[in-house]
Amino acid sequence: MSKPRQPFSRLAPLAAALLLAGCAVGPDYARPELDLPQTWPLRATAAPEAATSADRAGERWWALYADPTLDRLIDEALAHNADARVAAARVLEARAQAGIADADLYPSISAGLSGSRSQSTLRGAMPAAAGQPRIQNSYRGTLDVAYEVDFWGKYRRASEAARADLLAAGSAREAVLLTLTAQVAQQYFALLAADAQEGVARRTLASREETRALFSRQVAAGIAAEYDLHQIDADAADARARLAELTEARDRHESALALLLGRAPRAVMLDSPERGAPTALPAPAVPAGLPAALLLRRPDLQEAEQRLIAANARIGAARAQYFPSVGLTAYLGSESTAFSDLFSGPAGIFQFAAAITQPIWDAGRIGFGVDAAEARREQALAQYRQAVAAAFKDVRDALAAQRAAGERLTAETARAEALGKALTQARQRYDAGIAGRLDVLDVERNLLAVELARIDSERARRAALADLFKALGGGWSTPADG
């Protein structure tokens, strides 16, 4: 009974030595050196309470808007948006691919059961021997094991790459969700702005139509010039054209928001998204002393780095092809000419085998594979560096846009207030007979344009805040908060 186990006892130390001495060829990953600024080159401009509220916002950065309607819409988008679902499915695919790569690190075990019935010839070159039955049965049942020792780390590098791909897919999903939340917030505030602009245009049109009706009676009575009536008609037509444009813009914002929310085609076509009443918007800015390296947590940068890690690991998998592969196979089972004897003791069979295969000449196939893997690593490195630079550009642009939007809103608000006072004085002068009606219409025309611009400035300021959080990868924590 001890002799059949001798092949296993002799080869077991060899297999153990191969497993223990295994090493992974190829370069180990090291994060590239990046020339990053220590802190943001801008001073904090927000009040302390505004910065604190931004800290508390965390991942749900849109809570800073303090708009329950926006909160509900973003939650709906996160649950039903098509891009978010695609990104989630890609994570599941990457997880499955990582599982496949990990499976190569372990032996494969299978069971087989076969049976055959054959008849030998009596007239052929190899007739059946005398006394041997022409018809023979054969039955075989085995448990088969196959394993390739990962001596050079080919499968470990492949597993490392697959896991990096999984992390990259997860980061890509986070990037999609971050972009989605910013887009929903921006479309929502664009819709509110369109509603407000449409309301201003409707009130202006109603006022001009009332003025036209009044002037029509005055022209009929001969106390007003027909020239003034034509000018009033033109202004009323201009207000109707402006109202049509704003109504179209509002419809576009409604359908765009419905699509972002992941609603059904019928809802996209017929329903109108819910509106809320936006509160006063704080003016958060990047707090002083916040390290610029914090930006590296942005999900798109994490995705780019994981792609680089995967490409780096695949160089090792490609280089491992140069070295011998060690394969171990074994089977244990039974073989018999009678099925009733298949699982009896005398029918037992086993085999254990080891094989080493060394590539000698393949017309440079392995070398080209290594070159391709290294080239892909260089591509991923360049893309990572470019992504980091682009991220800092996004932050710089977002900070500039936030500052400019605030200044523009302040200027447009002051301009609207000044024109409002001018309109009051123009009407008083008209009532006193000092100015003509066209002077009043000219101020009204300017006030309409300024009111629309002021509303758009307020929308731009809210959108700039969303861009800032998107550029920073979400909320932040001050150094004191750790």
If 0-12 CB within 10 Å is exposed, 13-18 middle and 19+ buried, where does residue 92 land?
exposed
Between residues 292 and 322, which one has the greater pLDDT?
322
pLDDT at 16 over 60: no
Residue numbers of the domain that contains 365? 3-25+46-113+137-481
Q: How confident is the model at residue 227 (pLDDT cuts 50, 70, 90)?
A: confident
Higher per-residue pLDDT: 207 or 377: 377
Q: Hey, which of 89-103, 195-209, 230-244, 327-341 has the most confident mean pLDDT?
A: 89-103
Secondary structure class of 37 (helix, strand, coil): coil
Q: Which residues contact 349 (CB under 8 A, 6 or more apart)?
A: 142, 331, 332, 333, 334, 335
Is 199 within the bounds of a domain?
yes
Spell 188-205 as b/e; 16+ CB within 10 A means b.
Answer: bbbbbbbbbbbebbeebb
The secondary structure of 407-474 as a DSSP string is: HHHHHHHHHHHHHHHHHHHHHHHHHTTSS-HHHHHHHHHHHHHHHHHHHHHHHHHHHHHHHHHHHHTS
Q: Provide the 3-class DSSP secondary structure of residue 286.
A: coil
The answer to the question of residue 92 being in a domain is yes
Query: How far apart are the C-alpha atoms of 78 and 417, rounded to whole Å?
Result: 40
Predicted TM-score (pTM) of the model is 0.81
pLDDT (average), residues 404-422: 90
In a domain, 35, yes or no: no
Is 34 inside a domain boundary?
Answer: no
Is residue 39 in a domain?
Answer: no
Whole-number pLDDT of residue 40: 65
Which range has the top average pLDDT, 166-170, 281-285, 403-407? 166-170
pLDDT for 96 = 96
Question: What average pLDDT does this structure show over 294-314?
Answer: 92
381 pLDDT more than 90? yes
Provide the pLDDT for residue 48.
Answer: 41
The torsion angle over the Cα atoms of residues 136, 137, 141 and 146, rounded to 10 degrees, is: 40
The residue with greater pLDDT, 171 or 478, is 171
Q: Can you give the pLDDT at residue 477?
A: 53
pLDDT reported for residue 26: 87
User: Residue 4 above 50 pLDDT?
Assistant: no
Q: Could you give the number of structural domains in the chain?
A: 1
Which of 89-103, 377-391, 401-415 is least confident? 401-415
Token pair 């939007």 is found at 405
The pLDDT assigned to 122 comes to 77
Task: Give the residue with greater pLDDT, 472 vs 375.
Answer: 375
231 within a domain of the structure (yes/no): yes
**Which pLDDT band holds residue 341 (cuts at 50, 70, 90)?**
confident
Which residue type occupies 238? Answer: D
Is 30 a domain residue?
no
For residue 273, pLDDT over 90 is answered with no
3-class DSSP assignment, residue 316? helix
Q: Are strands 135-149 and 348-357 parallel, antiparallel or unpaired?
A: unpaired
- Residue 379 sits in a domain whose CATH number is 1.20.1600.10
- Is the pLDDT assigned to residue 23 strictly greater than 90? no
- From the list 232, 275, 235, the residue with the least C-alpha distance to 257 is 275
Phi, psi of 451 (to 5 degrees): -60, -45
Mean pLDDT of 359-384: 95
Whether 222 shows a pLDDT value over 80: the answer reads no
Confidence of residue 46 (pLDDT cuts 50, 70, 90): very low
Identify the pLDDT of residue 14: 47
Average pLDDT of the residues of the chain: 84
Query: Is residue 129 included in any domain, yes or no?
Result: no
Q: Give me the pLDDT at residue 288, please.
A: 57
- Report the distance separating Cα 86 and Cα 89, nearest Å: 5
